[in-house]
Amino acid sequence: MSEHICPNCKEPNHDDDALLCIYCGESLRRESGIIGRMKYTHHKSIFVTAIILIVLAFCVLMLR
């Protein structure tokens, strides 16, 4: 079992699946699924990737 330290109250949490601290109830700031990973990644990189994909799709469409 891994131990996660709460960033708010600094108490250890031993539950691997917990997203909230069992002592203070604050978020442990951990990723949870796809939405959680997106929340803690750089939004700029996601935006740039989306723009590149749109431009490439447009270029492929124009070549046909």
Task: Give the predicted TM-score (pTM) of the model.
Answer: 0.42
| 4 three-state secondary structure | strand
pLDDT at 61: 95
Looking at residue 11, its amino acid is: E
Short-list 7, 27, 10, CA closest to 19: 27
Segments making up each domain of the chain, as ranges: 4-63
- At which residue do the structure tokens 């949870």 appear? 32
pLDDT at 38: 61
Tokens representing residue 29 in the block? 């700031």
pLDDT at 54: 97
pLDDT digit of tens for each residue in the chain (64 aa)? 567 788 889 888 888 778 888 889 888 877 666 665 666 556 788 888 899 999 999 999 999 8
pLDDT at 57: 97
